[in-house]
Amino acid sequence: MQQYSVLMPVYHKEDAGYFRTSIESMINQSIPTDDFVIVCDGPLTAELNAVIRDYTRQYPELFHIVRMKKNRGLGIALQEGISACKHELVARMDSDDISAPDRCERQLAVFAAYPYAIVGGNVEEFTEFPAGFSQMQQSESPQAATLWNPAKSAPVRKVPETNEKIRAFAKRRNPFNHPSVMFVKSAVQKAGGYLDCKGFEDYYLWVRMLGRGMQGYNIQRTLVYMRTDAGMYERRGSLSYAWQGFLARWKIHKTGYSGLLDFAVSAGGQVIMSLIPVRLRTCFYSKFLRK
């Protein structure tokens, strides 16, 4: 089985406890990595640095820490981190989410069978997880990924499965759940890597890769449990967020991947969703954009 690197950015506003749990979920994968790259996007808190210190002492050959002098944002942090990854396959992971125990095993199996450049999957949103999760994470059972569900009715962000459906979906919406993806490093670099597109760095990258004929696939099961909070939908409502989304979608349109109608529909929807009352926004996301 081919090896892979883990790429995880972290910045000063992250919670140290969540950070530790995210790291644990990747260390305890059914097929573990031997190259774990953490990118510190600017100076960190003492608590976050303590987490890094603990793991680098415990696993001195596993962790590679990239420290940036200033906080420069997700896209630049990931671009720095990709260069530090030693394997061709790279698993993205956020510093407050939790990967299913067999997430990477499933993705590696897909890469072994098909010439994809990106393989992602569904993510399940949650706010809390029960006691005993850490023991479940360390289970070696092939069924370990189904042993824990943080909330049976938790919203699931489902994404299209096949390359054909992904290509069509990408004209108006992001076809991958960023924290769930594993990608081919050289393919990402060939497409120019992560570029400045605030809030949409990943979407901008995917359309450039798809535009070059690179292929993708989404495993139709939950690969990552994504932590959310009560204020998530509220933060998506403002004039500045609407303008940010409009500019990002124009930049994505300018790649030539989508047409003017696609841009009008996606950008218009983005602006409307950013300006409607938070209750309506929350209802729309939960009923139409989550399953």
Annotate 152-167 with three-state secondary structure. Answer: CCCCEECCCCCHHHHH
pLDDT at 37 over 80: yes
Region of 54 (left: φ > 0; alpha: ψ -120 to 50; beta: rest) is: alpha
* pLDDT surpassing 50 at residue 11: yes
Q: Does the structure show a pLDDT above 70 at 288? A: no
Q: What is the distance between the alpha carbons of residues 220 and 237, in angstroms, rounded to a whole number?
A: 30
Confidence of residue 52 (pLDDT cuts 50, 70, 90): very high
Three-state DSSP class for residue 10: strand
d(CA 96, CA 78): 16
| Run of H or E residues at 83 | helix 74-84
- State the pLDDT at residue 130: 45
Lowest pLDDT segment from 102-111, 248-257, 264-273: 264-273
What is the overall mean pLDDT for the chain? 86
Partner residues linked to 41 by β-bridges:
68
pLDDT of the residue at 229: 62
Q: What is the pLDDT of residue 284?
A: 52
The pLDDT confidence band at residue 151, using thresholds 50, 70 and 90, is very low
The confidence score (pLDDT) of residue 154 equals 66
147 pLDDT more than 90:
no
- State the pLDDT confidence band at 155, using cuts at 50, 70 and 90: confident
Q: Is 222 helix (H, G, I), strand (E, B) or coil?
A: strand
Of 26-40, 56-70, 159-173, 269-283, the range with the lowest mean pLDDT is: 269-283
pLDDT at res. 286: 56
The whole-number average pLDDT for the span 104-129 is 92
Residue type, 157: R
CA pair distance 25, 133, nearest whole angstrom: 10
Share above pLDDT 70 across residues of the chain, in percent, rounded to a whole number: 81
For residue 145, what pLDDT is reported? 39
Is the pLDDT at 246 greater than 50, yes or no? Answer: yes
* Rounded-to-integer distance, Cα 33 and Cα 3, Å: 7
Whether residue 198 has pLDDT greater than 90: no
pLDDT at position 243: 84
For residues 170-192, give the mean pLDDT: 97
Q: pLDDT digit string (tens) for 86-100?
A: 999 999 999 999 999
Q: Is 7's pLDDT higher than 60? A: yes
| Mean pLDDT along residues 155-178 | 96
- The string of pLDDT tens digits covering residues 259-284 is 999 999 998 887 777 766 666 655 55
**What's the confidence (pLDDT) of residue 290?**
53
pLDDT band at 242 (very low <50, low <70, confident <90, very high): confident
In this prediction, residue 64 has a pLDDT band, given cuts at 50, 70 and 90, of: very high
